[in-house]
Amino acid sequence: MKLDLLLSALCASTALVAANPLLRRASSSNVSTSTNYTQTATITDAASATDTVLTVSQGRFGALFKPKVLVINMFTPEQNAWVNNLDLKYNISVPMLSPEYPFVHSNSNYTIMSVTTGEGEINAASTITALALSPLFDLTDTYFIVSGIAGGSPDLTTIGSVTYPKYGVQVGLQYEIDSREIPANWSYGYVNFKTSQTNVYPGTIYGTEIFELNEALRDRAMQVASNVTLNNGTSGNVAFRQKYNTSMAVTGSPKLVACDTATSDVYWSGAILEKAFSDYVTTVSNSSATYCSTQQEDNATLEAFLRAAKHGLVDYARIVVMRGISDIDRAPPGMNATTFFFSKSLQGGSSSAYANLYAAGLPFVQDILGNWDTLYAENQFTPKNYIGDYFNTLGGVRDFGL
């Protein structure tokens, strides 16, 4: 371990703490020299402040770590692809991460780190919020790569494809009536809020329905990965792809695809729900977003980052989402939805998705570290498109919505 580097960072942080009036009475800064780092930095006299508004800039003062790249995984096999291959052997414990995934993992010079959120929207939002607010980290210049598996649309992807969304859409924010109880002329049981039919723009918006990411950075991430050899999946995956209509992308080899992602806590499957959710993606994005992957976290992650970006804790233009396709969202012709969904042997594309997320993500990580001074310290891939949420929280004018 680079003890000297750690100690000099600690001294610098102690000096910053001492210089900051809001943190002057901070009680302790506790860095262990084991492979688990634990720091406690507390403001003990906040209650005695006379100002009615106490604004504390966290994430900079006293920060020990300023990673250049932070990979975000959702569960263990996604995490292993990065932690094992890049030897992210240092565990940094951070308060309020998932009880199941309590550590940020780091390489030996603290330039590349990863965090695992736990699965589902609640875990993703909680972990990213905790990390963004942690006084251990200065994430203001950090590039974030969301690296997780997803279900894929057979129209645009196949098992092992790696997709790069510009839009993330949260499709669960709708009314639902069980499809056994719907009128005969409805295609599915989902209806947009404050409307009584589908494909009408929702009449009420929570703000997390749609996020737009930096397209220029996304395109760079794809371009530097354009020559990687992607894992083709098992012989079972190759055979299974052929069950679909040969006009669909699913029957081809895995590729890198620029297309958009849908978030729902519900792990759904089947052609009817695919139609419901892809229609929603189309409606809420004013036809700008093209649904091609389905997962359980991205809009939660992006909402937490949005709030952090609003307060200068992270840069929203430095986020890339990668979703590797582990399974297909609907059955091939001649097979019903339940047989398809519950046949593990048919859904077995996860290993190629994990491998390909790392294979395609590594050139981007190397690009960021290798060209830090010239291209990334000051982001040369500045967005040409609107970035942010429905409420224009980060400024600019959104290109979707009412």
Ligand X SMILES: *C1O[C@H](CO)[C@@H](O)[C@H](O)[C@H]1NC(C)=O
Instruction: Using CB under 6 A, list all residues that contact ligand X.
Output: 28, 30, 34-36, 40, 83, 91, 103, 107, 109, 111-112, 165, 167-171, 173, 183, 185-186, 197, 201, 208-211, 223-224, 226-227, 232, 238, 241, 245, 247, 252-253, 260-261, 263, 286, 289, 298-299, 302, 321, 333, 336, 338-339, 369, 399-402
Which DSSP letter does residue 209 get?
S
Question: Exposure string (b/e) for 375-400, b if CB count within 10 Å is 16 or more?
Answer: ebeebebebeebbbbbeebeeeebeb
CB of 123 to ligand X, least distance (A): 15
Q: Please tell me whether residue 159 adopts helix, strand or coil conformation.
A: coil
CB of 176 to ligand X, least distance (A): 14
Per 3-state DSSP, the chain is made up of helix, strand and coil in percentages (nearest 5) of 35, 20, 50
Nearer to ligand X, 109 or 371 (CB): 109
Which residue number is nearest to ligand X in terms of Cβ? 168
CB of 120 to ligand X, least distance (A): 14
CB of 85 to ligand X, least distance (A): 11
**Residue 179 near residue 272 (C-beta atoms within 8 A):** yes
Q: Give the CB-side neighbour count of residue 27, counting CA atoms within 13 A.
A: 6
Residue among 396, 394, 397, 368 at smallest CA distance from 381: 368
Nearer to ligand X, 54 or 199 (CB): 199
* Three-class secondary structure assignment of 278-329: HHHHHHHCCCCCCEEEEECCHHHHHHHHHHHHHCCCCCHHHEEEEEEEEEEC
Nearer to ligand X, 107 or 379 (CB): 107
Residue among 168, 162, 258 at smallest CA distance from 218: 258
Nearer to ligand X, 50 or 367 (CB): 367
CB of 227 to ligand X, least distance (A): 4
CB of 46 to ligand X, least distance (A): 18
Report the C-alpha gap between 40 and 57 in whole angstroms: 16
Report the C-alpha gap between 67 and 218 in whole angstroms: 20
Nearer to ligand X, 167 or 376 (CB): 167
Nearer to ligand X, 54 or 76 (CB): 76
Q: What's the Cα-to-Cα distance from 402 to each of 198, 279, 306, rounded to whole Å?
A: 16, 17, 20
Nearer to ligand X, 54 or 396 (CB): 396
Nearer to ligand X, 54 or 100 (CB): 100
Nearer to ligand X, 54 or 342 (CB): 342
CB of 28 to ligand X, least distance (A): 4
Which DSSP letter does residue 266 get?
S
Task: Name residue, tokens 């980060």.
Answer: 394
CB of 149 to ligand X, least distance (A): 15
242-246 CB contacts, 8 Å cutoff, 24+ apart: 243/332, 243/333, 243/334, 243/335, 244/154, 244/328, 244/332, 244/333, 245/333
CB of 56 to ligand X, least distance (A): 20
Q: If residue 122 lies in a helix (H) or strand (E), which one and from where to where? A: helix 121-133
Nearer to ligand X, 52 or 180 (CB): 180
One-letter amino acid for residue 200 of the chain = V
CB of 401 to ligand X, least distance (A): 6
Task: Name residue, tokens 């990213």.
Answer: 128
